[in-house]
Amino acid sequence: MASEPLTIPGHVGIIMDGNGRWAQSRGLKRSKGHREGVTSAKAIVKKAADLGIQYLSLYVFSTENWKRTEEEVSFLMILIKQYLKQEYQFYIDNHIRVIHSGRREDLPDDVLRDIDMVVERTKSFDKLTVNLLINYGGRDEIVRGVKKLVAAGTAPEDITEDRIGASLDNGPLPPTDLIIRTGGDLRSSNFLLWQAAYAEFYFTDKLWPDFKPEDLEVALNTFGKRDRRWGGYNANE
């Protein structure tokens, strides 16, 4: 019996949680878990492109992650740089556009240069847009967006949802349809708060390094069975 076709959401967000726990459960350093997490991210990006997903937002490094040890933060910054350089050709070959969401302040200059390089050189691609959330917090993004409006002289009565949305890090970014969180926790963790107003959530106990392309298909299959009403109701029920 043939399986039902997947419902493909336009914008999928992923909270990639569990790298450290994956490593610790195997008696390894947390850095090994983060490296395995990069491997999972590449496989999921490729699967998303193959499935026809238009936007994929990956929670790489949050504004709260600075609270981790200096050693781990330094390693993550190095890993981000390595990822951007090593996977650059992968994005080119697969016609994937890369954008960045997050506060530029606090990020090291060399990390910003690599982010800007990949963003600039992939800006013409339109197969899949990968939104890398680096030094990102949903509340911080909204605050910075409102400050842009104030700095531009926007009158209070002229501040609307549309204008706030347009002032965010990537204003044209569509709302998230589906948010996937690995690692077993059941919370949003300050992830795309504005864009996720009516997103469906899918939680799995799998730690991020164990999340495979077939797990993405399971999440999409579950998404396809959801009744999305956006605050309305079905008059026939």
C-alpha pair distances (Å), 109 with each of 72, 112, 113: 18, 5, 6
Q: Give the CB-side neighbour count of residue 43, counting CA atoms within 13 A.
A: 15
Catalytic residue among 19, 50, 65, 114: 65
Rounded-to-integer distance, Cα 82 and Cα 224, Å: 36
User: In Å, how far from its chain's centre is CA 232?
Assistant: 28
CB distance 122 to 84 below 8 Å: no
Residue 122 to residue 6: CA distance in whole angstroms: 28
CA atoms within 13 A on the CB side of 129: 19
Helix (H, G, I), strand (E, B) or coil at 124: coil
Give catalytic status of residue 190 as yes or no: no
Secondary structure (DSSP) of 159-221: --HHHHHHTSTTTTPPPPSEEEE-SS--S-TT-STTTTTT-EEEE-SS-GGG--HHHHHHHHH
- The one catalytic residue among 17, 114, 169, 177: 17
CB within 8 Å of 225: residues ≥ 6 apart: none
Distance between CA atoms of residues 135 and 121, nearest Å = 21
* 65 belongs to the catalytic site: yes
CB-based burial label for 70 (10 Å; 0-12, 13-18, 19+): exposed
What positions carry a catalytic annotation?
17, 65
